[in-house]
A and B are shown apart, each in its own frame.
Chain A
């Protein structure tokens, strides 16, 4: 299995809602990443998990809360989001943290905040 899966594909939420994005990989990778991508822009790194521990947080607002329950699973918990948080959220994984950093990306979750 050489893919990264993400659920849901689309999510619409209000500013008071709480929702979660899910990412899964079964390639034995020990680094996982969350990116945010706005239209016609490159992905922006949000968080990096290295051996299930948060290793990089790119000054992301606390309304985004990552979680890595095990080596295959990565969640992003969302609470009290703003309309400007609407974007494509991409998950990625790589075999070892920092090792050449070839990352495998999931298809993304298209988030709309009303």
Chain B
């Protein structure tokens, strides 16, 4: 079965500083990886995804993530954050066909990013 670990429950940063939100996953088969953002009292919005190909993935709002298969990681980065990036961020994994969790999206526990002026 697949699992996702987000290593930091809360990350405070100052505006215009860089940020990295960490995500590690576990699976016995190949996976697809996603980062979603959730603003207060809203649903989830897809930031970016890794399906195959280039391990550096660029998403919306200036975010990017790098898939590292050897370290089973998919960390999210932004070189300069804005106040409006304050939200909760979820890393999620989905297994390719053959996995015991095929058809399911498994989420990490979430990281609350707070950007201070």
Contact = CB atoms under 8 A, between A and B. Distances in A.
Given A42-B90, A97-B103, A98-B103, A104 B46 contact: yes
B110 A45 contact: no
Contacts of A45: 104-105
A42 B108 contact: yes
A6 B44 CA distance: 13
Contact of A98 (B90, B97, B108): B97
Counting chain B CB atoms within 10 Å of each CB, which of A33, A41, A50, A101 scores highest? Answer: A101
Nearest to B52: A100
A69 B76 CA distance: 38
A55 interface: yes
Given A98-B97, A100-B51, A105 B104 contact: no
A2 B104 CA distance: 21
A107 B45 CA distance: 9
A105 B51 contact: no
A56 interface: yes
Interface residues of B, number: 22
Interface residues of A, number: 27
B110 A40 contact: yes
Nearest to A104: B46
> Looking at A50, A102, A106, which has the most chain B CB atoms within 10 Å of its CB?
A102
Given A90-B44, A110-B41, A101 B109 contact: no
Contacts of B105: 33, 45, 101, 103
Interface string B68-92: 0000000000000000000000100
Given A6-B43, A42-B109, A101-B104, 15 more contacts: A4-B43, A33-B105, A40-B110, A45-B104, A48-B104, A55-B103, A98-B103, A100-B32, A100-B49, A101-B32, A102-B46, A102-B49, A103-B46, A105-B43, A107-B43
Interface of A: 4, 6, 31, 33, 40-43, 45, 48, 50, 55-56, 90, 92, 97-98, 100-108, 110
